[in-house]
Structure 1
Amino acid sequence: MLGRVRLAAAALIVLAMIATPTAAVAKSRVTPYELMKVQLHSGKTIAARWNPCQSAITYRVNFSGLPKAKRAGMLKTVKTSFAKLGQATGMTYSYRGQTTFVPQQGNLTEQPAEIVVAAVSKSRTDFPMSDNSLGYGGVLWSTWYGKPGEDAAVMRGYVILEAKAIQKLKGGWGSGQRQSNVILHELGHASGLGHAESRRSQMYPTLTSTSPSGYAAGDLAGLAKVGERAGCIAVPGSLSVRDLR
């Protein structure tokens, strides 16, 4: 039997306007990555992840919140970010062009690609973004049970980039408060990663002047858990992701 289609507990990233010291935490208690979890019909809990054996995960972009002069540069950064994500997961991501679609909590099954990256005002989405939010990302999964068994797979992912806020960040690649690091963070959520406790991880919930350049060791370990090495998912034919063009 088919199970439920459910929106993951998505997550946002905020900008640390002023860095403040925090209490020291024992290294053994700090997790370098966190996986989003799916509860199956039996009560078993597994990682929320894409089927790595599908031919490619498609994506489109909506940069309507950016000045036209800045859209080409943002597209280049997004494409490079997906390439880095592919290196980490072992999966293929295929760019399918632009769209006017804006992800909302109730419209993700209607997306014109499996992942949509939208740089728009936070007022255009109903995801709960705060005043200092830079981005918001997550996944939509489906579960099923019956013969030959039960399982789950991510069917859609989404990334919202707060257009005005992200334009204030540095471009290019490197550590610190950069557009590229926000995009990589949100793509981590769109791949099944939650927030990490370690400040050394790109998936730490706050972007700071010491945020790592690209995915750090903990992020890569988490992405490996939801990537190609985790093995194929036997998705029922009725749930196969459409060939979105």
Structure 2
Amino acid sequence: MDPFDPAERDPVSGDGPSPPSGRVPQWVLDEAAGLRVEPMPWRSPGPPPPPPRRRGRRTLRALLVVPLVVLLSLTAAVLVGPSTWPWSPVDPDVPAAGSTAVPTATPPTPTSPPDRPTAGREAARTPLGTPPPAPPEGGAHGFIAVQPDGVTPVAYDPCRPVHYAIRPDNAPPGGEEAVHAAFARLAEVTGLRFVHDGSSAEPSTLDRRIFQPETYGDRWAPVLVAWETEEQNPALVGDTVGQAGSVAVSLGDGPQVFVTGTVSLDADRMPEILAFRGGAQTARAIILHELGHLVGLGHVEDDQQLMYPEARREVPDFAPGDLTGLAVLGRGPCVPEL
């Protein structure tokens, strides 16, 4: 008998059975790469395989995480390279190299940037919120990517709101409420302001354009949260139940800033998790873990932190190390020129 079979319900409470030893079984690690920076997603409960050697898991994570950090750096470089910014200002009085054209004193008529919003949209002069002080005891935490200084993490701009939209298709009962509650919790611990834009009809979290003026107007596209099947997102094939990441851009030598991202939650497996006894708490922890990745947190080796790659009943919320990292991410640079 599968000890996690949701059909085996408690005849008194109606709840599903608890995993053995009072903890959610170990999550198997997996990862996918693409335009977005996608840290290793969690996987759903199931009959756990024989636990691999600890050293082997650490090596696997290192091999997978490092290429993703490089991917984010390359993505930012592609976005900000001089040849890829068609809206870069050009001095009309200086002819291009090799040109025989006579300079004109009349500048060209300004046009809207073709693939980024007008600079400074919704930007305030000061951060919209302040993260609470980090717990004095601190704790293990890490970041998905850092600035060229090798220390400062890449983060969202705290001087403007971070918009998010939810595609309601396939959402389990209570799923949207759980997402809103998780964003509210994330706002508390980062000081970032998250604004719900309502429902979205975007068909996929994959190969998503970060600027969609025809859909969202003159601003960066909001973070998209979607409940997806394995067919819609092949990264969810098997037991994978969550995937999240953000895209960073910068201007010239300016700081890299996250401007939007995606959160993909498995539409088939999450209802199974919710059927377990205590499943709502586990689902909330999974969503919080993915939102931690969204704003820039990486995995850690400390099993007392929520960003540990394995879900544990004993850690249903952000722990001191997570909170320490989130406080740093809430104090990112304000970049109104983006």
- Which category of TM-score, normalised to the shorter sequence, fits these structures? 0.7 to 0.9
Q: Name the counterpart of 1:63.
A: 168
Q: Is the 8 A contact 2:285 2:317 kept in 1?
A: yes
Give the number of the structure whose residues are more often strand, by fraction: 1
How far is the alpha carbon of 1:226 from its aligned partner? 0.5
Change (3 A) 1:124 1:211: farther
Structure 2: 5+ residue stretches without partners: 1-34, 56-138
SS in 2 for 1:11: coil
Work out whether 1:181 is the aligned partner of 2:285: yes
Q: Name the counterpart of 1:98.
A: 199
Q: Name the counterpart of 2:328.
A: 225
Q: Could you tell me how far apart the structure 2 residues matched to 1:104 and 1:156 are?
A: 13
Q: Could you tell me how far apart the structure 2 residues matched to 1:44 and 1:218 are?
A: 20
Q: Name the counterpart of 2:142.
A: 34
Q: Name the counterpart of 1:83.
A: 184
How far is the alpha carbon of 1:125 from its aligned partner? 2.6
Q: Name the counterpart of 1:47.
A: 153
Q: Is the 8 A contact 1:77 1:180 kept in 2?
A: yes
Q: Name the counterpart of 1:118.
A: 226
Letter in 2 for 1:143: S
Q: Is the 8 A contact 2:44 2:273 kept in 1?
A: no
Letter in 1 for 2:158: P
1:127-146 superposed matches below 5 A: 128-146=235-253
Work out whether 1:201 is the aligned partner of 2:302: no
Q: TM (normalized to structure 2)?
A: 0.56
Q: Could you tell me how far apart the structure 2 residues matched to 1:194 and 1:231 are?
A: 16
How far is the alpha carbon of 1:47 from its aligned partner? 1.2
SS in 1 for 2:315: coil
Q: Could you tell me how far apart the structure 2 residues matched to 1:175 and 1:48 are?
A: 33
- Provide the alpha-carbon RMSD of the alignment: 3.0
Paired residues in the alignment total: 213
Q: Is the 8 A contact 1:176 1:211 kept in 2?
A: no
Q: Could you tell me how far apart the structure 2 residues matched to 1:218 and 1:175 are?
A: 24
Structure 1: 5+ residue stretches without partners: 1-5, 25-30, 240-245
Q: Name the counterpart of 2:15.
A: none
Work out whether 1:10 is the aligned partner of 2:116: no
Q: Could you tell me how far apart the structure 1 residues matched to 2:249 and 2:227 are?
A: 26
Change (3 A) 1:171 1:196: farther
Q: Is the 8 A contact 2:166 2:226 kept in 1?
A: yes
- Rg larger in 1 or in 2? 2
Q: Could you tell me how far apart the structure 1 residues matched to 2:327 and 2:198 are?
A: 27
Work out whether 1:215 is the aligned partner of 2:318: yes
Change (3 A) 1:213 1:45: closer
- Stretches of 4+ aligned residues off by more than 6 angstroms: 174-177
* Percent of residue pairs bearing the same amino acid type: 24
Query: Quick one: which of 152, 156, 180 aligns to 2:260?
Result: 156
Q: Is the 8 A contact 2:166 2:199 kept in 1?
A: yes
Q: Could you tell me how far apart the structure 2 residues matched to 1:155 and 1:186 are?
A: 17
Q: Could you tell me how far apart the structure 2 residues matched to 1:122 and 1:223 are?
A: 31
User: Which moves more between the two structures, 94-103 or 134-143?
Assistant: 94-103
**Taking CA–CA contacts closer than 8 Å with sequence separation of 6 or more, which of the two structures ends up with the larger relative contact order?**
1
How far is the alpha carbon of 1:90 from its aligned partner? 0.7
How far is the alpha carbon of 1:130 from its aligned partner? 4.3
Q: Could you tell me how far apart the structure 2 residues matched to 1:176 and 1:211 are?
A: 14
SS in 2 for 1:183: helix
Q: Could you tell me how far apart the structure 1 residues matched to 2:262 and 2:314 are?
A: 22
Q: Name the counterpart of 1:27.
A: none
